[in-house]
Structure formats: C-alpha cells, structure tokens
A and B are shown apart, each in its own frame.
Chain A
Amino acid sequence: MSEHTQSGPDAAANPPAGATPAFRAIDFHGTGKEYFGIWISNLFLSIVTFGIYSAWAKVRRIKYFYNNTKLFDFPFNYHATGKQIFTGRLIAFAVMVVYSFVTAIFPLTIIPFSIAFMFGLPWLINRSLRFSARMTSWRNVRLDWHGTYGKSFLFFIVCPFVAVLSLGTLVPMIARYYYRYFAEGHSYGTTRFRADAKVSQYYKGFLTAALLPVLAAAGVALLLAAISAKGNGALTPAHILFFPIFAFLFFFQVMYHAICRNILLRSMTLGEVATFDSQVSPLKFLWIGISNAAAVLVSLGLLMPWAMIRRYRYLAESTGVGLSEASHEFLDAQTQTVGAFGQEFIDLDGIDIGI
C-alpha cells in the first residue's frame, strides 16, 4: 500500500481553505473482472468490423480507466470520440501506406522521407500531446499542452544522440530537463504546472537504479559463463555478453523510469494551490512488470486486462495530490480543437512519449 491517505466515499471532498495540503492518494475503482468484459468485447467488435471499431474501442478503454480514476471524489473524463480517432488513424495509415509504397519502388527516397520524418516528428509529438491533454478533463477543466517545436526537436531528436555519445553519463541531466519540459509544458486549464527538481537528484536516482541491474547483469554473466564452461558449445562469447547487457538495460530502464517519476512529481506544483507526491517503489514496479508479463504469457493473453488494471492501480495508489485551497477556481480557455492525426501517427510508429 502507498503512504497516502485513502479517500473513501464518506471522506470530505475538499481540504479546508488555506491549510497545509493533506495528500490524498488517487483512487482507482476499476477491477480486472469488469475490464475483462470491456477488453474482450472491444477485441470481438474490432475483429468483426475489420478493425473499424478499434477506434471506438480505444475511446472506451481510456474512458474506463479515466472514469474510474478519482481525485477528491471527482473522476477524470475523456472527450475524444471514436470518429476523431478513426479519422486520425485513417490519415496516419494512408501516409504510412504511401511511404511504404514509394520507398519499395524507389528505395533511395528513404533519405528524403527520413529527413522529413526527423523534422516533422517534433510537430507530430506536439500535436499528439496537445490532443491527449485537451481530451482530458477533471472538474470541467481540461488539460493543455504548450510545448514548442524547438524544444520538442531538442528533446526528441537531439538529446537521444547526445545521451548515446556521452555513453549515458549525460542521461540524468537530459532526464531532468526532459521531465521538467514535459511537466511545465502542461497546464490545467490556464494554470501551468511547475517542476524544479535538481540535477543532483536525477544523478542520485541514476546510480540507485543502476546498482541492482549491475548485480543482476553480473549474476546472469556468471551463470552463462558457468553453463559455457560445461562445454556443450551452445553459448558463444556473444551470448555471454548480450544477455547481461539486455538484463541490465531492461532492469535499469524500468527502475529509472519509476525513480524519475517520483522525483518529478515530488517537485511539481500547480499554481499556488496544488502539490504532488509519488511513492512508487522501483523494485515493486519491476516485480509488477515481470510478473504481469509472465501471467500474460502463461494465460495466452487472457490475463492482459488483469495485468493492466494491476499496474494502473499501483501507480494511482502511489500518487498523491494535495490541494491547499478548496475554493480555488481553475479556469479553462476556449481553444481550437486539434485533430487526432498526430497521436495516431505517433502510435502507429510505436513512439512512446510520456512519463
């Protein structure tokens, strides 16, 4: 269980005005059984409609998770429609088909396409984040995204190269600025989020996250070396090198993600009235990921809904929000609607954005 106060149906909806914020864990009421019905219905309807329903299925799935996520007794709401997602998906799919077709006939066109993709990606990511934010509301006020092309280009195109060239030593520095950009680029209505975690916190987290994976990788290497020493010839030096590196990267990535989330949320504020907390245990988060994958594999996918609910619930229960001024009125701004193309294109391309 997390260290946050759990809010029940009888708990007061709001803390007293002007008080030090009492952290309240985010409530999640979804169940594996309930979600299984939605998941299998979504799958069935998507298949019998040749995939057309999958756009509406996506909306249904997100609504289930959002609607069951409550903060101070108010659920989150999701406003995208299946038609919007379907249109975005159709355009994204058409672009991908044209790309595949043209590059299959004229392979050299992959060069201009790659350049166009590199320069177009920050724009697409901004569109995707904006769509996702504008479709999410709590207490009738929607989130928004204000990221700029230049900063998105820097974080999504330039920084990955810098991280590799620095052999990982600059990863914590980049993580600090990236997470800050992600948080401060968002607003709740017209009120901006702020985050001011120090670089040293990310470096400390980096070392913590690397410690266990180094031990795990060393263990795997020793095990493989022992197997190899028995001389059955099945293991080459490449195997002995590859598996520990893979184990290290997998363990490290999951644990560092959890640590960065904690650092970011603990330093985050919304205007003068809301503060946040995150108590995700990197080891528990890792265990949930590994055991979920095993359960899904053993059940041939049937435990997927249970696994998704379990992971989501843990993250929700480990996240707290404090509101110091109950009567504070957040305002939203009327903005132009943004299409789902960016999000669907990013999804289709398998790019993961978020924290």
Chain B
Amino acid sequence: MSTPHLVEGQFFQPLSSKSRAARLRVEPCEEGLFVTAILEDGDETAPLAVDDLQAEGCLHFAGGCYFKADRPLPQEIASLFKSRTQRRIARLEAFSLPKALALGLALILCVLAFRAAIPLAASGIAAALPDRLERMIGEQAYASMKVTGFADSGIPPERQQELRRRAAALAETARLTRRPEIFFHRSALFGANALALPGGPIVVTDELVALLGSDDAVLAVIAHEMAHVERRHALQQVLNVAGAAAMASVVLGVDDSMIEELSATLINVWSFKNSRDYEKEADLIGLDILRAAKLDPRLFLTAIEKLTLQGCADLAGDALARCRDKSVAVETGWMSTHPAAKDRLGYLRAAIGG
C-alpha cells in the first residue's frame, strides 16, 4: 500500500444535515481506493464506497454518507475519484482559446455534415416505408382538409372528369409508378393553388383553374404535382423536419426558451431550403412529363408567370407595370418554401430553351 492522503473536512451521516469535523483517509490499493473517515473523537468509519465527487471537494458515498473537504481537493487526489472518461472530458472542458476555436470549427463541420446527411437519410427512409402507409397519411390529411379548408367545386363534373382522364394519360405516357387521384375544390383559404398530399391525392382549387383559363395549363400544374408524388417529396419533407427537430432538441436542449426559439427558427430555415429544392426538382420533372405527353412545356412557364403576377390582377397602368417588375424581380429568401420568381422563371426558361 502507498502513503494515504489525509483531507480535512466535515463528515455527515446518512439523511442528516448535522456535520462532524473529520479527516478523510484516501489510500490507493489493488482493488482501487481504500477510503475511510476518521471522526473528531478518533472513531474511524467502515470503508466507504465513493459514489460521486462534486464541486472538487464534496464526496457522496454509497449508503448516503457525505464528506465536504474544507478546501478543494488537490488535483492528484480529485483525479483518483474520476474515471478515465471523466478525466478526458474535464481536460476538454478546461478553457483555452485554441481549444475553443478548434471545437467551434469542429461544430460547424458537424452541422454541415448533418445538413447533407439528413436529406439523404430522409430519402432512404422514405424509400423503405410502404406506399400504403404514405397513401393512408395523405388520405387522412385530405379528409381533415376537406372539413377545414375545402368546399365543393363549382367546376362542371364533365370538365373535372376530362381533366382526370387526361392526367391519367399523362402519368401513363410518362410511365409514372404512382397514379394519384385528382380532386377539385373551391378554397378561400388556399386561393389559386394545387397541392400534392403524401402518396396523392392531388387537390386543384377552382381558383387556380379560373386563373389559368385553359385545361392544358391546368394539366401542366398537375404534372408538377405528380412529380412531387412520384418522388415522395411530402414524406421526405416530414422526415427531414422530424430529423432536424429531433437533432436540435437533443443537441441544443429545450430548457432554455431563447435556445428553443433559435432552434425552431433554424429548423424552419432548414426545412424551407429542402422545400425549395423539392419544388425545383418537381418543376423540372413536370416539364419532362409534359414533353412525354407531347404537350408544350411552355404551358407550365405561363402558369407560373400567371401565379406570380396574380397579386397585380386588379391594377392598371403604371401601378401594374411596377407590380409586375417587383413580382418578377423577387430574389430567393431564406424563409421561402418555393424558389423565388426570378430564379424559378430563369431556370424554367433555361430548361425549356426559350
């Protein structure tokens, strides 16, 4: 046995706040550590098993005894009560500027790695999930939205049926693996819009049909929505957000409201970026679907222009010109779910070649 360390302090019996002056005897031995407390009257306790060292001088023992050293324990004694992992973490925690910079850099790299890894993982998980499950989610979401956001369509049933027939032909010629149902609804909530729910169905609003005017233009938008369903974008988006939220909550913690707000904002920014990527992909696949069906891809370009300019519909003269210039010149923002008009019209024109 080596020379024992003696530490002055106060000793507490289990479940009591009453202390007695004592000396702690710490002696490294073959089994690890031999620890006893020598009380002020000379009595010595039975060997004590250390549970935890806190505040560099507070030792909690199995069974509830407690010893508080009068001064912080010297490093060589404190380290005896720490595991190898605890010692390594303590070294990492000791502040130094180079270490802080290195850790900061490593953190940024990790975040960037996750930024790339989560969409990949989402895509992989989405591919592994059965179609039936995705369709069930979409159908249930549609049932809820029918109650809250959609009213019966005013489009004649024959026209609806014809659009459905032509949409099915589009899917057939483009050899799509998923054939979503198409529904028409009036919606003050969504306005001129079309939505692809997980696994289908696709919902087209009466307001959109009225804005676009021709059935060919409506089909161009349906082709875009079919591309979302084909690539399972809605499901991937749900998985992306869930992955980012889970990661943010465990990494940043949720016990500080400021951090919580920050993490919610980051998750939104993160998911909006994915959303814009999915929109662009659906735009380009939509063009291929139209080409396969021998429809003019410029129909989609025209539809996007009309949607972009719909806010200017009630204006005239200089006000209309200013509104058009402003709407088309908008650049992509961090908080946009769709690509900005300027980018979108730009890449669509480039893809169409006109």
| Contact flags A42-80 to B (C-beta < 8 A → 1, else 0) | 011111101110100110100100111000001101110
Interface set of A (CB-CB < 8 Å, partner B):
33-34, 36-38, 40-41, 43-48, 50-52, 54, 57-58, 60, 63, 66-68, 74-75, 77-79, 89, 93, 100, 104-108, 138-141, 189, 292-293, 296, 301-302, 304, 308, 327, 329-334, 347-348, 350, 352
Given the interface contacts A47-B251, A75-B58, A301-B262, does A36 sit within 8 Å of B15 by beta carbon? Answer: no
| Residues of the A chain whose Cβ atoms lie less than 8 Å from the Cβ of B60 | 77, 79
| Residues of the B chain whose Cβ atoms lie less than 8 Å from the Cβ of A347 | 254-255
The reply to whether the CB of B68 lies closer than 8 angstroms to some CB of chain A is: yes
Give Cα distance in the complex from A330 to B13, angstroms.
12
- Shortest CB-to-CB span from A144 to chain B, Å, is 12
A140–B64 contact, CB under 8 A? yes
User: Using a Cβ cutoff of 8 Å, how many contacts connect chains A and B?
Assistant: 132
A41–B255 contact, CB under 8 A? no
Give Cα distance in the complex from A334 to B13, angstroms.
13
A292 and chain B: residue at smallest CB distance:
B258
Interface centre among B16, B19, B106, B242 (most CB of A within 10 A): B16
Chain B residues touching A, range:
35 or more
| Residues of the B chain whose Cβ atoms lie less than 8 Å from the Cβ of A41 | 89, 92-93, 103
Q: List 21 A-B contacts (CB under 8 A).
A: A41-B93, A41-B103, A43-B103, A43-B107, A44-B103, A47-B107, A47-B110, A51-B246, A52-B250, A54-B253, A68-B55, A89-B250, A105-B140, A107-B143, A140-B15, A140-B16, A141-B15, A304-B258, A331-B15, A334-B15, A347-B254
The reply to whether the CB of B54 lies closer than 8 angstroms to some CB of chain A is: yes
- Shortest CB-to-CB span from B199 to chain A, Å, is 12
A77–B12 contact, CB under 8 A? no
B95–A34 contact, CB under 8 A? yes
| Residues of the B chain whose Cβ atoms lie less than 8 Å from the Cβ of A38 | 93
Interface of chain B, main secondary structure: helix
Give Cα distance in the complex from A352 to B250, angstroms.
17
Select which of B68, B111, B253 is within 8 A of A74 by beta carbon: B68
Which residues of B from 249 to 308 have beta carbons under 8 Å from A?
A: 249-260, 262
The reply to whether the CB of B52 lies closer than 8 angstroms to some CB of chain A is: yes
| Residues of the B chain whose Cβ atoms lie less than 8 Å from the Cβ of A54 | 250-251, 253
A348–B254 contact, CB under 8 A? yes
Interface of chain A, main secondary structure: helix
| Residues of the A chain whose Cβ atoms lie less than 8 Å from the Cβ of B56 | 67
The reply to whether the CB of B154 lies closer than 8 angstroms to some CB of chain A is: no
| Residues of the B chain whose Cβ atoms lie less than 8 Å from the Cβ of A107 | 140-141, 143-144
Give Cα distance in the complex from A48 to B247, angstroms.
11
* Given pairs A47-B110, A105-B140, 16 additional interface contacts (CB within 8 A): A33-B95, A41-B93, A43-B252, A44-B103, A45-B89, A47-B111, A47-B251, A75-B55, A105-B136, A141-B15, A189-B17, A302-B104, A308-B256, A347-B255, A348-B249, A348-B254
The reply to whether the CB of B18 lies closer than 8 angstroms to some CB of chain A is: yes
| Residues of the A chain whose Cβ atoms lie less than 8 Å from the Cβ of B111 | 47
A67–B55 contact, CB under 8 A? yes
A189–B141 contact, CB under 8 A? no
The reply to whether the CB of B316 lies closer than 8 angstroms to some CB of chain A is: no
The reply to whether the CB of B100 lies closer than 8 angstroms to some CB of chain A is: yes
Given the interface contacts A40-B104, A47-B110, A189-B15, does A104 sit within 8 Å of B137 by beta carbon? Answer: yes
B55–A77 contact, CB under 8 A? yes
The reply to whether the CB of B150 lies closer than 8 angstroms to some CB of chain A is: no
